[in-house]
Amino acid sequence: MRKTLVMIPAFGCDAGLYGAIAGRLAEAVEVRSHVAAQDSFGAMVAEVLAFAPERFVVLGTSMGGRLALEVALAAPERVEGLVVIGAGAGAVADPAAGLRRSARIRGGEKQQVLIEMGNMIAHLPGPRGPATREAFITMAQAMDPETLARQSDALAQRTDKWGRLGEISCPVLCLWGVHDKFSPAADGQRIAASVARGDYVELPDCGHFPTLEYPDETAAALERWLQAAVL
């Protein structure tokens, strides 16, 4: 039976985050994208589980990666594989800063918030760094401000899950850009080492969005992992 891969985009992003790799992965799995729109990870998890089929592989980037991890913890009987891209398992470092970001978005500063984040999203000296920055800002600018603010609320309230990673028994791939400014590569290495069946892949000259910065290399790594660990 053909397996389903549910892909969850990052904060502010839509299916375009995976546009360069979705067609290639569709040769092996049924690909579905889901944009999380709730103001807590608990509500987002429920949303994903209602959207997904009974059994599925889940992949997420940044906020979506953290959500994918929480989905695997919440429904281990349904998740056949987990891909985390650029998302640690720890609590938010500064909840107040996250809530200030939400308030700024609701208060009319959405564009400035997106520019500030965009300047950190990609490894700008990389071959697709500037294009990735612009792609993020374009996607996020198109998102309704209240949806964006709810995503920000959820990020500002995330709690520590490091101690629970040993509960994840499905295959896990952690895929990271070595120059990720939002979640250091050490987070990916730690997740991979903390689960029973973890793999870690690191991309040089890459920042927070491997699917945009290095789509061919990212798709190849995902294909290898799917064939070896899931299919």
Judge whether 136 and 209 are in contact, CB under 8 Å: yes
Q: What is the pLDDT of residue 230?
A: 81
CATH no. for 4-93+149-230: 3.40.50.1820
Instruction: Identify the CA nearest to 98 among candidates 136, 161, 154.
Output: 154
Q: What is the pLDDT of residue 174?
A: 98
* 3-state SS class at 94: coil
Question: What is the token pair recorded at 27?
Answer: 């040769």
Question: What is the token pair recorded at 107?
Answer: 């208060």
Tokens 């985009």 correspond to what residue?
9
CA 211 and chain centroid, separation: 10
Rounded (10°) CA dihedral 89, 95, 100, 106: 60
Q: What is the pLDDT of residue 229?
A: 80
Q: What is the pLDDT of residue 2?
A: 86
Q: How many residues does the chain have?
A: 231
Whole-angstrom Cα distance, residue 36 to residue 166?
A: 25
Whole-angstrom Cα distance, residue 180 to residue 87?
A: 10
Helix 41-51 to helix 145-156 angle (10° resolution) is 120
Strand order in 30-33's β-sheet? 30-33, 4-8, 56-61, 79-85, 172-177, 198-203
Whole-angstrom Cα distance, residue 86 to residue 72?
A: 16
Ranges of residues in the chain with a pLDDT under 50 are none
pTM: 0.96
